Amino acid sequence: MADDLHLIIANKAYSSWSMRPWVAMKAQGLEFRETVIGLDQPDTAARIKAFSPAGKVPVLQHGAVTIWDSLAIAEYLAEAFPGKDWWPADRAARAVARSISAEMHSGFTNLRSNMPMNVRRSLPGVGHSEAVDAEVARISTIWRDCRAKYGAGGPFLFGAFTNADAMYAPVVTRFKTYGVKLDSAAQAYADAILAHPAMREWYISAAGEPWVIAKYEK
């Protein structure tokens, strides 16, 4: 049952890892409780540790089951709540969706470091380097290829909104914050993500948060 789902996340302004399962669950219509723990506060580590054996967020509690790590949560939800668009129905498309999700999960470290997520700021031109621009190009290629091969059924990577879109949603916010120039196909995809009701709700919540952390406000 979805009525005992509890998602523990960090600041919506800054936490890309937290955004992924939150947006995925909202997009698939799951109801859940959420707890937001502010980062870089005196009690942050203790509060997170009370929920997470790894000492990190996001964490999903489903009854007696605790799942941590955004991609593990995505896979758990697909098993626990079948019949939704967690992954593409076609096996080949599903394999690609999992591959690009894993690539996002483990890669793009230069982009992460130089363009940290901050959905409340506009910092055009900040954070670019040769390494960052190469990762932007790779992400754009992923988006274009998936849209061309699998996206006929809707505006997202595999038509309908899936876990793969949730994995790339924080990157879309980074591109918006830092004014990253994209080709028309990639920009159309980014616009579709930003227009999704779950993303709009996230932005509204982030705007009302009380925490301001200097290192993310550069």
Question: In CATH, what number is assigned to the domain containing residue 61?
Answer: 3.40.30.10
Distance CA 176, CA 199 (A): 13
- Same structural domain for residues 101 and 60? no
Exposure class string for 121-136: b at 16+ Cβ within 10 A, else e: eeeeeebeeeebeebb
Per-residue pLDDT band for 1 (boundaries 50, 70, 90) equals: very low
Residues 76-128: pLDDT tens digits?
A: 999 999 999 999 999 999 999 999 999 999 999 999 999 999 999 999 999 99
Residue 34 has pLDDT above 50, yes or no: yes
What does pLDDT average to over the chain? 96
Burial of residue 214, with CB atoms counted within 10 A of its CB: 0-12 exposed, 13-18 middle, 19 or more buried = exposed
Where do runs of H (alpha helix) occur along 52-162?
70-80, 91-106, 109-114, 130-150
| Residue 62 bridge partners (DSSP) | 5, 65
- Same structural domain for residues 19 and 97? no
Instruction: Give the domain-ending residue among 57, 84, 111.
Output: 84
How many domains, in total, are found in the chain? 2
217 found inside a domain: no
CATH of the domain at 148: 1.20.1050.10
Single pTM value for the model: 0.96
Mean pLDDT of 15-44: 96
* Domain span holding position 25: 2-84
